């Protein structure tokens, strides 16, 4: 019991101290637990400024942290579906309904998916960005977009092949 208590206390100290976790070489492991109060406060403020009816995420961890720490009503939180079907609990339980016509604010932490997200909306325009410093050289970054009229493009093998061709050509 004493050993487990010592290990637990050590982990809490490392999580709380950026310099200590950096020195121990484990800062990357703790970046996912830092900065959620600030991240969700800034996302909530952007959502209020946007006038959108819903806040949509492309990352399940961000979605769940917003559920836990954010001030946006849970009825206004959705997940964008990247693949043909749901791949995780967030996508299964809170998918943005196809045909959702009202304006949404999209918070994307995955820049490579932005062109794919854009295809699913009739209206899609930049709304700014949010960057939260997590300590050391780590940060959490969101690109924000106002979008409307969600019409999900079918995720066929041909569609996926086209996405891969476009990504490959963007590296040329």
Note the pLDDT tens digit of each residue in 4-58: 888 888 776 656 655 565 555 555 554 455 578 889 999 999 999 999 999 999 9
Residues in Cβ contact with 13 at an 8 Å cutoff, skipping those fewer than 6 apart: 20
* CA–CA distance, 54 with 115 (Å, rounded to integer): 20
Note the pLDDT tens digit of each residue in 72-128: 887 899 999 999 889 999 999 999 999 999 999 999 999 999 999 999 999 999 999
Widest Cα–Cα separation across the chain: 59
Take residue 71 and report the two structure tokens written for it: 């001030």
> Residues 163, 119, 126, 134: is their CA dihedral positive or negative?
negative
């Amino acid at each position: 019991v004493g050993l487990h208590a010592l290990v637990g206390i050590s982990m809490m100290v490392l999580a709380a101290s950026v310099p200590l976790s950096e020195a121990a070489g484990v800062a990357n492991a703790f970046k996912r637990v830092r900065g959620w109060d600030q991240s969700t406060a800034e996302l909530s403020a952007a959502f209020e400024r946007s006038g959108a009816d819903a806040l949509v995420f492309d990352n399940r961890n961000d979605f769940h942290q917003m559920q836990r720490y954010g001030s946006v009503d849970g009825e206004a939180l959705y997940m964008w579906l990247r693949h043909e079907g749901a791949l995780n609990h967030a996508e299964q339980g809170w998918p943005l309904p196809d045909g959702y016509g009202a304006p949404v604010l999209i918070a994307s932490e995955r820049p490579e998916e932005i062109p794919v997200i854009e295809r699913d909306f009739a209206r899609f325009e930049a709304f700014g960005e949010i960057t939260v410093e997590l300590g050391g050289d780590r940060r959490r970054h969101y690109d924000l977009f106002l979008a409307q009229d969600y019409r999900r493009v079918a995720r066929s093998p041909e569609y996926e092949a086209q996405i891969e061709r476009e990504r490959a050509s963007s590296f040329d």
